[in-house]
Amino acid sequence: MLHDLLNRPLRNLRLSVTDRCNLRCNYCMPEAEYVWLPREDLLNFEEISTLVDIFVERGVDHLRLTGGEPLLRRNLPTLVSMLSAKAGLNDLALTTNGILLAEHADELHRAGLRRVTVSLDTLQRDRFIALARFDEIERVKDGIAAAARVFGRLKLDTVVIKGVNDDELVDLIEYGRSVNGEVRFIEYMDVGGATQWSPARVLSRQEIILALTERYGPITPIAEHSSAPADRFTLPDGTVFGIISSTTEPFCRTCDRSRLTADGMWYLCLYAARGIDLRAALRGGATPEEIREIIARGWQNRDDRGAEVRLGMGERRAFVPIASLRQDPHLEMHTRGG
């Protein structure tokens, strides 16, 4: 097992399969125009499979498919069946906005996918349109219903923004209960792409707990020893929910995840300015052994703790200026996969 300079193991990989998306969430893709990764640069399934094999040899046992919107990647179930056959992977999951999930849920399950997270920020149609720019709430709900039927249970991820959807915490918990979905509230992060971010728009973990305590009564933290980003809690009736407090109480100290973009750039932190170009190595003829070495060197030199560094800054505003995002789309959250 590889460890970085802060003694964190390499265990989790988030694999982005496309930078394209069929929504324009205000906290992720608020701009009118985007620069896309060149199509010829996207890794094909064989290349992805080769790299995943090497990551698994180096200790990765949790893999999450993401994007952009991963269900826009053509023939995704074929990739899922290639990945689910890998002996070293204990966990294969998917994060999606849910729009195309009803269409693909059965096939993804047959291909070996067992865990799905759907992003859902509001239950209100008008608000969904204002937040994500497309009138797709019904298809998302159909996708969630399909996921509940096919996978039995699911997670629902909600980015909470003050003055936008912070009055829906209870409604989302209740909805989650009705679809066997565990809701996880995510603090609004000042990542690349979140050009509308400001500290005043962040609803903090403390505020989320306070609001839910007012409605439900005492909330009990669940004691868990895990590197998972969400802290989980139980309501008095036993309902479980999570909070991902990346902005006000970051968890960099236990962070064992890295990210591979659809064009094969490997990022060791969500906030990293630079990545390691594994596509160039692969297409340049590097042997698996050489790529193993690149990955080992990269991880062993890692000391990133981006969210903690951001928290330590005095005045805080959007992380990357728009001009820089246009110059290098790898800085975007939708390219890094969230």
Return residues touching ligand SF4 (CB under 6 A). Answer: 21, 23-25, 28-29, 67-69, 97, 119, 250-252, 255, 269-271, 304-307, 334
Please identify the residue of the shown chain whose CB is closest to the bound ligand SAM: 338
Q: Which is nearer to ligand SF4, 249 or 290 (CB)?
A: 249
DSSP assignment letter at 228: -
User: What is the C-alpha to C-alpha distance for residues 11 and 3, in angstroms, rounded to an integer?
Assistant: 10
Q: How far is the CB of 12 from ligand SAM (least distance, A)?
A: 14
For residue 202, give both structure tokens: 């962040």
Q: Which is nearer to ligand SAM, 2 or 270 (CB)?
A: 270
Binding piece for ligand SAM, criterion CB under 6 A, among 37-45, 139-147, 186-194, 200-208: 186-194
305 touches which of ligand SAM, ligand SF4, none (CB within 5 to 8 A by kind)? ligand SF4
Q: Which residues make Cβ contacts (< 8 Å) with residue 184, sequence separation at least 6?
A: 155, 156, 157, 158, 230, 241, 242, 243, 244
User: What is the C-alpha to C-alpha distance for residues 330 and 35, in angstroms, rounded to an integer?
Assistant: 10
Q: Which is nearer to ligand SF4, 118 or 235 (CB)?
A: 118
Taking Cα atoms as reference points, which of 194, 189, 193, 182 lies closest to residue 250? 189
Output the CA torsion sign for 304, 305, 307, 309.
negative
Q: How far is the CB of 83 from ligand SAM (least distance, A)?
A: 17
Instruction: Give bridge partners of residue 156 from the DSSP assignment.
Output: 118, 183
Coil, strand or helix at 244: strand
Element (H, E) at 117: strand 115-119
157 touches which of ligand SF4, ligand SAM, none (CB within 5 to 8 A by kind)? ligand SAM
Contact positions with ligand SAM (CB under 6 A) in 80-139 = 95-97, 119
- Site map 48..87 versus ligand SAM, x via CB under 6 A: ------------------xx-x------------------
Instruction: Please report the DSSP string for 27-93 in residue order.
Output: TT--SS--PPPPGGGS--HHHHHHHHHHHHHTT--EEEEESS-GGGSTTHHHHHHHHHT-TT-SEEE
270 touches which of ligand SAM, ligand SF4, none (CB within 5 to 8 A by kind)? ligand SF4
99 touches which of ligand SAM, ligand SF4, none (CB within 5 to 8 A by kind)? none
Q: How far is the CB of 228 from ligand SAM (least distance, A)?
A: 14
Residue 160 engages ligand SAM in binding (rule: CB under 6 A): no
Residue 168 engages ligand SAM in binding (rule: CB under 6 A): no
For residue 14, give both structure tokens: 């988030």
What is the Rg, in whole angstroms, of the alpha carbon atoms belonging to the chain? 19
